[in-house]
Amino acid sequence: MGIRRRMTGRDVTQDIAVTYDEHTAVSTGPEHEAAGVKAVMVSLQRGVTSMGPLRTAAALVRLNQRKGFDCPGCAWPEEHGGRKFAEFCENGAKAVAEEATKRVVTPDFFARHSLADLRERPEYWLSQQGRLTHPVILREGDDHYRPISWDHAYHVIAQHLRALDSPDEAIFYTSGRTSNEAAFVYQLLVRSFGTNNLPDCSNMCHESSGASLTDSIGIGKGSVTVEDLEEADVILIAGQNPGTNHPRMLSVLEKAKANGAKIIAINPLPEAGLMRFKDPQKVHGVVGHGIGIADEFVQIRLGGDMALFAGLGRLLLEADDQAPGTVIDRAFVAEHCANFEAYEAQTRAVDLDTVLEATGIDRAQLDRVAQMLIGSQRTIACWAMGLTQHRHAVPMISELTNLLLMRGMIGKSGAGLCPVRGHSNVQGDRTMGIWEQMPEDFLAALDDRFGIVSPRKHGMDTVDAIRAMRDGRASVFMGMGGNFALATPDTAVTDAALRSCSLTVQVSTKLNRSHLTTGRTALILPSLGRTDKDLQDGAKQQVSVEDSMSMVHLSRGSLQPPSEHVRSEVAIVCELAQALLGADHPVPWDALRRDYDRVRDAIAAVVPGCADYNRRVRQPDGFQLPHPPRDAREFPTTTGKANFAVNPLEWIPVPEGRLILQTLRSHDQYNTTIYGLDDRYRGVKGGRRVIFMNPADVEAFGLTEGDRVDLVSEFTGGTGEVEERRAEDFMVVPYSTPRGNAASYYPETNSLVALDHVSARSNTPVSKAVQIRVEARAGVGARG
């Protein structure tokens, strides 16, 4: 049992040997605290293994420093002012090691491996092969990628795009690592070409937050800063696992706690980082058990959050009846809000028994949480994928916003809404125009600046793009980063959709499944990453990014790129634009490529809030984009006020003999990039095909720890017919999760998520509530 893995040398003529049996995992029981000295050791060891000692040192001293590069890990903000030397974050260091690795994938690698061979390799193996060094092409009928010149590659893309009947038959995806400059020129290229088909990873991520917040407060971004978190007296953390996915958030929470804040963690799982935290830079992180994070752990049933927030709303209204004016901020509601009466009427009628059933918690805990909110003067609500990836995600988030609005907890210090973003620049990409439905004022400013005519018809998001490719309505796919084939739902459907294309193009740093799920012709264009030095005509360039709290700042890569043939994303876009749009196109593509300051001048002219961009990003900590609710309690909604949302209560009952499955991240992955096979905090070693189940469910299904099962999802489609999808061979791990709720890793379980199972309004795949049944595998685990 366990892991058998050898990581050998750095000889570029050899593959990186990663030998293991991906079906063998061992469960050793969860760890109870996050970070600590072990985290530092793990990150240094990973760094030295893949980057070597010198690059490790060079990379980590510049990580998140003023003159350094922005961490490609997550979108959590950097601390202002005197940043700590190498503010240690195990998973940030792993993200850097992944990108700055000395391992390389050269044309020779593709000569040795046919496509058929590569398709047999697990994602972990692909992830470990290193950085892509040359542009390569897979020609129709060929089974190997072969080197191609950049100019020829651009020519191939231009030819395919020009051959389409309409620009709307092309899809231009973006993942959230793309810099502001690259995102801006990319959307400019796509709109110059004539389509708004700009799906992005956000469609699968915080789209529900954007949709909900835009309705409620008029802007789809969070309203708090790090300083606010430090001043809050109550912080709700719902549907988020910061110990793994936003580790630097833990030191802010620790500070908040030192200032007296109480933390309410709402999660089906007792995640290590929510329970206890050891700061490796403090004495208690070196010895002892660290500090407790959550003061109240609400072990909620999957999808029960809307009911929880509604139930709390009712208790708050009743508390205000007892002592009028002490709970509801009547002045704020009267001056700044709309639709309170309808909200009040509905919320007073919420049935508390339903709330207890939907959430799975007891009345005493509901009352305790209500009391914590009532006693708070400064409340902040943080959330991530545990809220956004549900069918009722949008009304669920609105219900949380309602709770804060009724108490006037927005637009004052220490209070507000905090959707914690995923990819390090996913928020910036949207600000720069990566959206299939950018508003008219943005398009008008773009046209005005460049003398182009942007299309006005809305484009396709991720799910619609898959449908279009599946149905033959789109046949060229280009991905600016990301791993579309594996990050999206319904793997078999997406796979077929991509394969039906005439051309697929991936601009990537590392090898992944999307390079093997190809159109008839396919290109891989290797790009620089955040850590790499970017020279254009000999002049050093820098890029800018926006974090989860709307802070915009510069990022300067400094490491030697993996090869001289790798180009920056800005260069790739501008050169492709010239090949596609011709020499007399009104946009000065070559000038934009040669000097990114020119891109920033254009951003200043087009993007709201970015005036004087070149100067302001050069300030030591950059600048903060405007946010009317946060800055002035102004709400740019249709009513001109903050809107209380009124929606019918939704939750997820568990049918007899079934489980509701959430698909989440292990501690050893970055989305589809697999760093390793351990999930240390949850006590899983050496494998990823596991399903975490409540011990009583394990027993009720006649299973036992270590049994192998197949997962079969059941989705009732539009016609009323039940569709089944199957993922094979998962090991049963009894775990602390509510009855009827299970968890398993993404992306192995994406094949279970039906393409049509999406959040109403945001069209986000429902990755956190897949109805499944488990079937014992023949010969193993069929007991009872």
Ligand X SMILES: Nc1nc2c(c(=O)[nH]1)N[C@H]1C(S)=C(S)[C@@H](COP(=O)(O)OP(=O)(O)OC[C@H]3O[C@@H](n4cnc5c(=O)[nH]c(N)nc54)[C@H](O)[C@@H]3O)O[C@H]1N2
Secondary element (H or E) of residue 278: strand 276-278
Cβ(552)–Cβ(221) under 8 Å? no
Shortest spacing between CB 703 and ligand X, in angstroms = 21
Considering CB under 6 A, how many residues would be counted as binding ligand X? 59
Q: Which of Mo ion, ligand X, none binds 642 (CB below 5-8 Å, type-dependent)? A: none
Query: Can you tell me the distance from the alpha carbon of 177 to that of 193, in angstroms, rounded to the nearest whole number?
Result: 23
Q: Which residues, 219 to 238, sit near ligand X by CB under 6 A?
A: 238
For residue 538, what are the contacts with CB-CB under 8 A and spacing of at least 6? none
Q: Which of Mo ion, ligand X, none binds 730 (CB below 5-8 Å, type-dependent)? A: none
Q: Which of Mo ion, ligand X, none binds 669 (CB below 5-8 Å, type-dependent)? A: ligand X
Question: How does strand 136-138 pair with strand 521-526?
Answer: antiparallel
Query: Can you tell me the distance from the alpha carbon of 694 to that of 233, in angstroms, rounded to the nearest whole number?
Result: 33
The residue from 87, 123, 181, 305 that contacts ligand X (CB under 6 A) is 305
The residue from 261, 385, 522, 545 that contacts ligand X (CB under 6 A) is 385
**What is the contact mask toward Mo ion in residues 193 to 232, using x (rule: CB under 5 A)?**
------------x---------------------------
User: What is the DSSP secondary structure assignment for residue 713, as one 8-state letter?
Assistant: E
75 near Mo ion, judged by CB under 5 A: no
300 near ligand X, judged by CB under 6 A: yes
The residue from 135, 210, 268, 781 that contacts ligand X (CB under 6 A) is 268
434 near Mo ion, judged by CB under 5 A: no
**Displacement of CA 560 from its chain's centroid (Å):** 28
Shortest spacing between CB 704 and ligand X, in angstroms = 24
Q: Amino acid identity, residue 71? A: C
Q: Which of Mo ion, ligand X, none binds 662 (CB below 5-8 Å, type-dependent)? A: ligand X
130 near Mo ion, judged by CB under 5 A: no
Q: What are phi and psi of 170, to 5 degrees?
A: -115, 145
The residue from 422, 482, 526, 686 that contacts Mo ion (CB under 5 A) is 422
764 near ligand X, judged by CB under 6 A: no
Residue 374 CB coordination number (10 Å): 18
Query: Can you tell me the distance from the alpha carbon of 773 to that of 655, in angstroms, rounded to the nearest whole number?
Result: 10
Cα dihedral across residues 99, 102, 108, 111: positive or negative: negative
302 near ligand X, judged by CB under 6 A: yes
529 near ligand X, judged by CB under 6 A: yes
267 near ligand X, judged by CB under 6 A: yes
| CB nearer ligand X, residue 208 or residue 454 | 208
Which pair of tokens denotes residue 379?
A: 């409340």
Q: Which of Mo ion, ligand X, none binds 73 (CB below 5-8 Å, type-dependent)? A: ligand X
Shortest spacing between CB 753 and Mo ion, in angstroms = 15
Cβ(285)–Cβ(305) under 8 Å? no
| CB nearer ligand X, residue 177 or residue 221 | 177
| CB nearer ligand X, residue 186 or residue 450 | 186
For residue 40, what are the contacts with CB-CB under 8 A and spacing of at least 6? 88, 90, 280
Shortest spacing between CB 387 and ligand X, in angstroms = 6
The residue from 407, 423, 680, 682 that contacts ligand X (CB under 6 A) is 423
Query: Can you tell me the distance from the alpha carbon of 402 to that of 393, in angstroms, rounded to the nearest whole number?
Result: 14
For residue 392, what are the contacts with CB-CB under 8 A and spacing of at least 6? 303, 306, 647, 650, 651, 759, 760
Cβ(519)–Cβ(494) under 8 Å? no
Query: Can you tell me the distance from the alpha carbon of 209 to that of 406, in angstroms, rounded to the nearest whole number?
Result: 19
Cβ(88)–Cβ(39) under 8 Å? yes
CA atoms within 13 A on the CB side of 558: 20
The residue from 768, 771, 772, 774 that contacts ligand X (CB under 6 A) is 768
133 near ligand X, judged by CB under 6 A: no
664 near ligand X, judged by CB under 6 A: yes
Q: Which of Mo ion, ligand X, none binds 245 (CB below 5-8 Å, type-dependent)? A: ligand X
In the three-class reduction of DSSP (H, G, I as helix; E, B as strand; rest coil), residue 347 is classed as helix
746 near ligand X, judged by CB under 6 A: yes
CA atoms within 13 A on the CB side of 429: 31
| CB nearer ligand X, residue 254 or residue 569 | 569
Residue 702 CB coordination number (10 Å): 12
Q: Which residues pair with 685 in a beta bridge?
A: 26
Q: Which of Mo ion, ligand X, none binds 175 (CB below 5-8 Å, type-dependent)? A: ligand X
242 near Mo ion, judged by CB under 5 A: no
DSSP string of 384-420?
-HHHHTSTTHHHHHHHHHHHHHHTT-SSSTT-EEEE-
744 near ligand X, judged by CB under 6 A: no
CA atoms within 13 A on the CB side of 166: 11
Cβ(645)–Cβ(652) under 8 Å? no
| CB nearer ligand X, residue 98 or residue 233 | 98
**What is the contact mask toward ligand X in residues 174 to 193, using x (rule: CB under 6 A)?**
-xxx----------------
The residue from 223, 359, 512, 694 that contacts ligand X (CB under 6 A) is 512
| CB nearer Mo ion, residue 422 or residue 482 | 422
Q: Which of Mo ion, ligand X, none binds 678 (CB below 5-8 Å, type-dependent)? A: none
Query: Can you tell me the distance from the alpha carbon of 10 to that of 405, in angstroms, rounded to the nearest whole number?
Result: 56
659 near ligand X, judged by CB under 6 A: no
Q: Applying CB under 6 A, which part among 10-18, 224-232, 240-248, 432-440 lies near ligand X?
A: 240-248
Q: Which of ligand X, Mo ion, none binds 240 (CB below 5-8 Å, type-dependent)? A: ligand X
Tokens 């509604």 identify what position?
Answer: 310
Secondary element (H or E) of residue 107: helix 107-112
74 near Mo ion, judged by CB under 5 A: no
Which pair of tokens denotes residue 683?
A: 């006590």
Shortest spacing between CB 457 and ligand X, in angstroms = 25
Q: Which residues pair with 631 in a beta bridge?
A: none
Shortest spacing between CB 245 and Mo ion, in angstroms = 9
Q: Amino acid identity, residue 147? A: P
| CB nearer ligand X, residue 196 or residue 389 | 389
Q: How many helices (H) and strands (E) does the chain have?
A: 31, 33
| CB nearer ligand X, residue 71 or residue 224 | 71
Interface with ligand X by CB under 6 A: which residues? 73-74, 91, 175-177, 201, 204-205, 238-241, 244-245, 266-269, 271, 300, 302-303, 305, 384-386, 389, 422-423, 480-484, 487, 507-510, 512, 527, 529-530, 569, 662-665, 669-673, 746, 750, 753, 767-768
Q: Point out which residues bind Mo ion (CB under 5 A).
A: 205, 422
